[in-house]
Amino acid sequence: MDLDLQKVKRMPIMVSLMMGAFVATLNETLLGNALPVLMKEFQVGATTIQWLTAAYLLIVGALIPVTALIQQWVTTRQLFSIAMITFLIGTIIAATAPTFMVLLAGRVIQAIGTGLIIPLLMNTLLNIYPPEKRGTVMGVLFLIFTFAPAIGPTLSGIIIDAMNWRWLFYTTIPITIISILVGYAYLVNVTTITKPKVDVLSIILSTLGFGGIVYGFSASGNEGWSDPQVYGSIIIGSLALIVFTVRQLRIPNPILELRTFRFPLFSLSIVLLIVVMMAMFATITLLPMFLQGVMLVTAFQSGLIMLPGSVVNGLMSPVTGKLFDRFGARVIIIPGLLIVCIAMYLFTGFTLESTGMQIILTHCLLMLGVALVLVPVQTYGLNQITPEYYAHGSAIFSTLQQVSGAIGSALFIATMSARSRIHLAESSNPDTVTEQLTASVAGYSDTFMLGFVISIIAVFVAVFLRKNTKEKQAG
């Protein structure tokens, strides 16, 4: 579809989409500080409760590839309405859930809506803005994509202490309804309706692949890596993804055009995105548990401690977009990754004597590094591909962003649970509260050391980034 960019009313389109994206991505982490409360409410453990976050991210990641196909079947306005109404239904179910499984079902339905809206927003942006303006616009976009999830734990802490946990969902209902109405009023179609054949087997393979891997990582916290349930799930998931990949390269209308990976710098950007998203979502999930379970602060205090980092992340996202337009990727991404490494290393030194200010400053440092990487790496990656790959390129980025967040959360929590049990078993008097807290601190330290190692690897990968023609002219 050839758009006349001079006639497109960009602002109303982007505002309506961003409203929906904000409330949807906010829910990725809105339960952050509520997880300890929900563990007591429904009598479940850490590796079970984390599925409220991991399942949400997983479903979002599994659905995003399908959205590239759906956008060729329905108009932009129709898809937006379907996505947000689905999200609204899931929110209502979660808000009124009598059991953990019903709450999880509500989260899954919410995630279906989110999985549809995220790539719709990114693909619309790529179609209505020229390349020279995308860095700035992507910065504003990631003010939504990163600030909304980053502010989630803070809001949940405030709401949990002031009201019942169900208000975490009640408060988003009015915003969702407004976004539906605004979207219906202003959205116009920006894609070509071709109605290609839907390959159901590819959808099943994609869901089974990502689901198996995330489930395996999650189960490892309780069962251990040697358990057949753990390595079996990961093997099945990996095999499903291999078959999915082969099938996408052979069928005429793939749900995800994996030939996009033929652009080497796009592929390099994907690797960096995975690392940063794992670090970000794992930390967002782990910190509230550390603060409330080890430091013994309230949910409200936990939210306040995480607020400054969220603000730093939100304020820096538009700035890094403009810096990318001016200076290119390397001079922003590499320092950003180094900052992430420093923050991860500082997290490993937390003890029972650590102060709230230490945690605040370290979290701020991490979120600064994340902001310096996320916007430039995605804009840089998408700028490497040609227009016919825009929808699939944005879908790949969005898919792996969510799935890596789910894997990161599952991997880090599983590692924390396993390492804490090992340290407790090695203690001289495991029945005392002091020894239990000390073992938990050691478990968290080991987990963040894993994050530090992964971040170091990302720095070495980023060295291979190079300037494209546009960046050389800018520099």
Domain ranges of the chain: 10-198+255-474, 199-254
List Cα–Cα distances, 58 to 29, 64, 187, 207, 381, in angstroms: 13, 10, 28, 8, 23
Q: What is the dihedral of CA 243, 249, 253, 258, to 10 degrees?
A: 90
Nearest to 111 by CA among 51, 178, 171: 51
Write down the pTM of the prediction.
0.72
Nearest-angstrom CA–CA distance, 373 and 323: 11
Query: What mean pLDDT value characterizes the chain?
Result: 80
Residue 222 has what pLDDT? 61
Tens digits of residue pLDDT in 182-238:
878 777 776 677 777 778 888 888 888 877 887 787 676 566 677 788 889 889 989
Q: How confident is the model at residue 469 (pLDDT cuts 50, 70, 90)?
A: very low
Lowest mean pLDDT among 17-21, 32-36, 135-139, 376-380: 135-139
Residue 94 has what pLDDT? 93
Nearest to 50 by CA among 408, 442, 444: 408
Query: Does 333 score more than 70 pLDDT?
Result: yes
Nearest-angstrom CA–CA distance, 216 and 237: 9
Q: Classify residue 261 as exposed, middle or buried by CB count within 10 Å of its CB (0-12, 13-18, 19+).
A: middle
Lowest mean pLDDT among 84-88, 242-246, 395-399: 395-399
Contact status, residue 223 vs residue 230, Cβ threshold 8 Å? yes
Nearest to 413 by CA among 152, 221, 216: 221
Tens digits of residue pLDDT in 380-419:
888 888 877 777 787 788 778 777 877 787 788 888 888 8
Nearest-angstrom CA–CA distance, 368 and 314: 9
Query: Does 89 score more than 90 pLDDT?
Result: yes
Q: Classify residue 319 as exposed, middle or buried by CB count within 10 Å of its CB (0-12, 13-18, 19+).
A: middle
List Cα–Cα distances, 449 to 255, 338, 390, 462, in angstroms: 37, 15, 36, 20
Lowest mean pLDDT among 2-6, 116-120, 213-217: 2-6
Q: Where are the alpha helices (DSSP H) in 27-99?
A: 35-42, 46-49, 51-70, 76-95
Tell me the CATH number for domain 10-198+255-474. 1.20.1250.20
Q: How confident is the model at residue 142 (pLDDT cuts 50, 70, 90)?
A: low
- Kindly state the average pLDDT of the residues 332-349: 91
Look up tokens 């539906």; give the residue: 180
Nearest-angstrom CA–CA distance, 310 and 321: 17
Structure tokens at 192: 């070509």
Residue 101 has what pLDDT? 92
Q: Classify residue 278 as exposed, middle or buried by CB count within 10 Å of its CB (0-12, 13-18, 19+).
A: buried
Look up tokens 């505002």; give the residue: 15
- Kindly state the average pLDDT of the residues 72-87: 85
